[in-house]
Structures are given as C-alpha cells and as structure tokens.
Amino acid sequence: MALNRVGDDNLYIGGLMALNNKLALERESITHTLTVLRLNVDEERFKPFKEHLHIPVDDVDDEDLLQHFPTTNAFIRSGLESGTGGVLVHCAMGKSRSATVCIAYLLHKDPGALTPRGALDLIRRTRPLCEPNDGFMEQLELYHQMGCPDNVVDHPVYQRWLYQRAVQDSVACGKGPELDEIHFEDQGISNNSIGDFKEPVDSTETATRHTTIHHSAYPGKQKRLIPDATPCPHIVIDSHVITAVNMRPHLPPPTHLDAPVTFPVIIGSNVL
C-alpha cells in the first residue's frame, strides 16, 4: 500500500492498493492519478482527485505501451506544473507498467541525461521491486533512441518497429503481412544500390539485401529443436525502405483479399 517518490519531483509510484492508503494520499497531496492497467475503472474511486487518466494495457511483452508515452508524459507534466499537489502513477503491483511510464517521463523530461536503465535505477532507490517486462524495456530503449519525441506514432523508427513486429508475427503464422500493414517510403535508396533481388522474367530490379529483415525459420521454442545451420526458405522484405517506384508495379490493385498474396519465386526462395 506504499507510495514511493520518484526523484525530486512530486511524482509517486505504487500499486492498485495504494489508492486505499488515504493517509498517504493526503500526506503527499495527490491530486492527479494515472492508472496503467486494463480494468473497468470505478470512477467513484477517483472522484477525490482533481484529474485522472486511464491507460488500459496489459503487462505482457507484446503490449504497445510506447504509443502512449506522449499522453502519459503530458499528463504527469501537467500535474506537476499545476503546483497544487502530487501525481501518482499506479498499475496492479507498482512494478512493471507504472515503472515503465515513470521511466518514459524521466527520459522525456531531460533527454540525454538518463538512459532507460539509469532511470530504472533511480526509481529503484525508493521502490526496489520495479522491473518492467522485457518488451517494455525494449520500447523504452527505442523511445530513447528516437530522442523521446512528442509524436511517437508518426515517427519512422516507430513505424519500422511496428512493421517488424508484424513481419515476425506473420512468419510465426506462416503467412505474409496484411497489405494494410505495409507502408511505402519513396526515399532513402540510391538507384545504384538496387539489384540484389530481381524478378526472373524481366530482371526488373526490385530490392536490395539491406531491405530484408533477419528472422528465424522456426520462431519460438521450435528453434531449439532445429540446427542453427538450417536456412529459412523465405525472404522477408522490409517495405519501409523499398521505394514505391520499384514495388508498386508488382503489386495488384488495392482490393479485399480472402487469402495471402503469393509472389513469384526468386532465387529459389519464397518472398513473404
């Protein structure tokens, strides 16, 4: 039921039970609460607070919490700048989701001053149990790499990360990514760099080796049963770096499809 202070700000982290600690809430003058938890929120429970924000997410590796960082950062900053009290960030246990949001705020507050691991160490000084899951730590590293922008969803690094996740999910399912998940970018590749992969009929240059995404032929636990030397029969193309000039002529007109599109065999391999 404890509320633990984060750094020198009036920012606090805790679990769901911290909301029952009325003495601590009053002592720290908590006016803003940020719930990072997937649950049906009882608004009556948050009426004593001036402001409340709910981010419904699960504590799992593949949950996209990164997209919410600008919103949570703005809410925390607004609460701290109001000068009327403190901000409480909580999840179920005050361990993973709430810690991730607090780390994102610390990174955004002073970009370059802290790394994600350094921010986590700072929070652990008062709440040692904090441990974001591996997926959230990866997202924090990505956010730090992006420069902690106010607009995450339109950032090319975030878009590439989303597409790579879609590719990995598709490989695991044995199918290509959905067409509505594919984005084209008409820049970034010089003409003389194209030509590693060609369509066999007319030798049209379509992609280079740096546009492929490394992946496992046998994702998950199956990989342990297959020798590392076993090659994957698929080439996964990252459409973020393939120009529309080169790829659009090879794609059918936009339409609703009930089955995956099958591309020609290239160099004895399948293209996803």
79 and 124: one domain? yes
Catalytic amino acids? Answer: 91
CA Rg, the chain, in Å? Answer: 23
Q: Look at residue 36 in the predicted model and tell me its pLDDT.
A: 98
Q: How far is residue 89 CA from its own chain's centroid?
A: 19
Which pLDDT tens digit goes with each residue over 3-25? 999 999 999 999 999 999 999 99
Q: Look at residue 1 in the predicted model and tell me its pLDDT.
A: 61
10 and 83: one domain? yes
142 and 11: one domain? yes
98 and 166: one domain? no
Residue-range definition of the domain harbouring residue 176: 161-271
139 and 192: one domain? no
Whichever domain contains 132, its CATH number is 3.90.190.10
Angle at 86 between CA 81 and CA 88, to 5 degrees: 120
Residue 152 has what DSSP assignment? -
Which pLDDT tens digit goes with each residue over 87-138? 999 999 999 999 999 999 999 999 889 999 999 999 999 999 999 999 999 9
83 and 189: one domain? no
10 and 142: one domain? yes
In a domain, 151, yes or no: no
Contact at 8 Å (CB) between 197 and 246? no
In a domain, 156, yes or no: no
102 and 28: one domain? yes
95 and 228: one domain? no
Q: Look at residue 156 in the predicted model and tell me its pLDDT.
A: 95
- What is the pTM (predicted TM-score) of this model? 0.68
